[in-house]
Amino acid sequence: MTDSGVREVIVIGSGPAGYTAALYTARAELKPLVFGGAIFVGGALTTTTEVENFPGFPEGIDGPVLMENMRAQAVRFGAEMIDDDIVEVDLTGDIKTVTDTAGTVHRAKAVIIATGSGYRKLDLPKEDELSGRGVSWCATCDGFFFRDRDIVVVGGGDTAMEEATFLTRFAKSVTVVHRRSTLRASQVMQNRAFSDDKISFAFDSEIAEIKAADGKLAGVVLRDVFTGKTRDLDVTGLFIAIGHDPRTELFKDQLELDDAGYLKVEAPSTRTNIAGVFGAGDVVDHTYRQAITAAASGCAAALDAERYLAALADGTNTTAREDALQAVTG
Ligand SMILES: Cc1cc2nc3c(=O)[nH]c(=O)nc-3n(C[C@H](O)[C@H](O)[C@H](O)COP(=O)(O)OP(=O)(O)OC[C@H]3O[C@@H](n4cnc5c(N)ncnc54)[C@H](O)[C@@H]3O)c2cc1C
């Protein structure tokens, strides 16, 4: 095990939240060290094609290009990037430690956690390769591309009903596919969906197969979960709304999480229950989950970290420190 000296700040995550935190802390001359992940460098937007709702790009921008640009902008101001996973953390002391896959221990006075949240998948062949080509996990992001199309939405909870209802603005038809005979969604969301003429339901059903033609979604096969009988559904859009999992496994023994496993912060700040540890982006946010909101909270986390470090340097107590001590000691 080697040791690489004490940094001002370490950022874990290279999505819009992590790169924005890196940019701001780099411009504040804090020389951030950024862990971007071993295989998921650039975060969720690298798995999509056109991004049309990130401000500043009137013609839209390719997701991976947007993330390369964010990275280059942070590097330009001195952010150091290591594309590796953090596998262990000790956030409790004044000096925090994070350990990478090679066993190298990195130390810092402040840590910004921006590890994002993974959309649950159906785990079917072609699902990943058709992401951004007919398969989506986000109606707000992609609904606009599905004008006058026939769409299927998978899921039975509030998110699925919200996505289905939102998609009727664009779609010709929306079929909600749910494995059970009743929905899990709240009554008000169910009522809204049931009363929408464009929405129909396939209960006790699941997606058995995703079909592709010319690199795009070309329909799905539905299977009745009781009889096993299959039928084709002629759709060109598949929205998967079966939940998401915040990447907080690493922190769960040290940081407070909410019931759904998201990092708890003292909104509107990004402070966690431990002084000097900040949370940003989708790992904190189960409401908005957009690139721009993730970037905004990465900025907030950087500013919070800057203030924390400034207070540490001049020996004044920070609210973060007092609050965190209170939270920890009760
Ligand atoms: C297919 C798809 C299309 C989308 N389209 C749009 C869109 O058009 N517009 C829009 O606004 N939003 C879109 N979104 C949502 C948007 O991508 C997310 O809201 C945003 O990326 C969240 O940013 P984040 O920085 O919080 O997390 P992420 O982008 O998820 O990044 C998390 C980062 O953490 C890293 N990481 C995780 N664990 C570790 C670890 N242990 N060690 C080191 N690094 C780690 C990962 O490698 C990754 O870099 C889309 C999402 C998907 C999946």
In terms of pLDDT, which residue wins out, 298 or 50? Answer: 298
pLDDT tens per residue across span 181-191:
999 999 999 99
What's the pLDDT at 322?
Answer: 52
pLDDT band at 330 (very low <50, low <70, confident <90, very high): very low
Tell me what the pLDDT averaged over the chain comes to.
93
CA 193 – ligand 1 centroid, Å: 29
* pLDDT single digits (tens) 132-178: 899 999 998 899 999 999 999 999 999 999 999 999 999 999 999 99
Tens-digit pLDDT profile for residues 196-221: 999 999 999 999 999 999 999 999 99
CA-only gyration radius of the chain, Å: 22
What's the pLDDT score for residue 5? 86
How does residue 4 score in pLDDT terms, banded at 50, 70 and 90?
low
Quick one: which atom of ligand 1 is closest to the CA of 142?
8
- To the query of whether residue 299 is one of the catalytic residues in this protein, the response is no
* C-beta 281 within 6 A of ligand 1: yes
Average pLDDT over residues 284-300: 95
The pLDDT value recorded for residue 317 is 52
Tally of residues, the chain: 330
Name the band, by pLDDT with cuts 50, 70 and 90, for residue 48. confident
Decide if 3 is catalytic: no
CA–CA distance, 218 with 223 (Å, rounded to integer): 17
| CA–centroid distance, residue 137 to ligand 1 (Å) | 12
**Pocket flag, ligand 1, residue 262 (CB < 6 Å):** no
Share of the chain above pLDDT 70, in %: 95
Give me ligand 1 centre to Cα 282, in Å: 7
Q: What pLDDT score was predicted for residue 328? A: 36
User: 45: Cβ below 6 Å to ligand 1?
Assistant: yes
Other beta carbons within 10 angstroms of residue 13's beta carbon come to 29
What torsion, rounded to 10 degrees, do the Cα atoms 149, 170, 142, 201 define? -70
228 Cα: distance to centroid of ligand 1 (angstroms): 36
In this structure, what is the dihedral angle of CA atoms 172, 136, 167, 18, given to the nearest 10 degrees?
-150
Q: Give dist(CA 171, CA 147) in Å, integer.
A: 5
Residue range 234-252: average pLDDT? Answer: 96
85, 138, 150, 299: which is the annotated catalytic residue?
138
E strands within the chain? 3-12, 33-35, 50-51, 61-62, 80-82, 86-90, 96-100, 105-113, 117-119, 135-136, 150-154, 173-177, 199-202, 205-213, 216-224, 230-233, 237-240, 244-246, 277-279
Kindly report the protein residue whose alpha carbon is nearest to atom 7 of ligand 1.
141
